[in-house]
A and B are shown apart, each in its own frame.
Chain A
Amino acid sequence: QKEVEQNSGPLSVPEGAIASLNCTYSDRGSQSFFWYRQYSGKSPELIMSIYSNGDKEDGRFTAQLNKASQYVSLLIRDSQPSDSATYLCAVNRMDSSYKLIFGSGTRLLVRP
């Protein structure tokens, strides 16, 4: 079992729809959770951080965390073609506050 798992996709949604990206993790002690967006040929860009159970909203993005189920998700409302990218989930390791474990990413395609 991978430490951080994501569906590789591609997840294809029409413009204006809600895109839902999911991530599960294995380390029950993890405390910090991050979503990064990576355009093709570019570096990962932080878009959301979440540390406690529940929802956190920032503009069109909502991160949801459920520690009991070891599940974190990212919702993108009113999806735009410019949101087409790979989304990486990252989780800190309980044995290290410094190290993050990254999922392999979900590729999102927003159709005009």
Chain B
Amino acid sequence: NAGVTQTPKFQVLKTGQSMTLQCAQDMNHNSMYWYRQDPGMGLRLIYYSASEGTTDKGEVPNGYNVSRLNKREFSLRLESAAPSQTSVYFCASSATKGPQYFGPGTRLTVL
């Protein structure tokens, strides 16, 4: 089992460009999450999907959109990237009420 996979691993964007971060899990989990991690700020929830077909905002949703494509896949889109979105992005998945398992992360730099 690969667990949670994310693509790409690294990305550099210019201000105003758009991109989609991809996440997939093979653990048959119902719930999936997107976090960003910044120095001194800890992990902050951007969006989550409690189950296939549902998505909800987390703490810091502004500037992002998500799509729960199917049970396995949950993507995060930046429509118009800003330097403040420079961060490390983690996708995670969990069974209901279970612990979350994280992907390897995407390091995004917005110039």
Interface residues of A (CB under 8 A from B): 32, 34, 36, 42-46, 49, 88, 90, 92, 97-100, 102-105
Please report the C-alpha to C-alpha distance between residue A76 and residue B100 in the assembled complex, in whole angstroms.
22
A residues in contact with B50, CB < 8 Å: 98
Also in contact, A102 and B43, with CB within 8 A (given A43-B90, A43-B104):
yes
* Total chain B interface residues with beta-carbon distance under 8 A: 20
A residues in contact with B82, CB < 8 Å: none
24 A-B residue pairs with Cβ-Cβ distance under 8 Å, sorted by A, are A34-B99, A36-B102, A42-B104, A42-B105, A43-B90, A43-B103, A43-B104, A44-B43, A45-B102, A88-B42, A88-B43, A92-B97, A98-B31, A98-B48, A98-B94, A99-B45, A99-B48, A99-B58, A100-B100, A102-B42, A103-B42, A104-B40, A104-B41, A104-B42
Please report the C-alpha to C-alpha distance between residue A98 and residue B48 in the assembled complex, in whole angstroms.
9
B residues in contact with A99, CB < 8 Å: 45, 48, 58
A residues in contact with B99, CB < 8 Å: 32, 34, 46, 49
B residues in contact with A98, CB < 8 Å: 31, 48, 50, 94, 96-97
Do B102 and A32 touch across chains, with their CB atoms under 8 A apart?
A: no
How far is the CB of A6 from the nearest CB of chain B, in Å? 9
B residues in contact with A43, CB < 8 Å: 90, 102-105
A residues in contact with B64, CB < 8 Å: none
**Chain B residue with Cβ nearest A2:** B42
How far is the CB of B1 from the nearest CB of chain A, in Å? 15
Q: Which of B71-111 contact A (CB under 8 A)?
A: 90, 94, 96-97, 99-105
How far is the CB of B85 from the nearest CB of chain A, in Å? 19
B residues in contact with A104, CB < 8 Å: 40-42
Q: Which of B3-45 contact A (CB under 8 A)?
A: 31, 40-43, 45
A residues in contact with B97, CB < 8 Å: 32, 92, 97-98
Please report the C-alpha to C-alpha distance between residue A43 and residue B50 in the assembled complex, in whole angstroms.
21
**Chain B residue with Cβ nearest A101:** B45
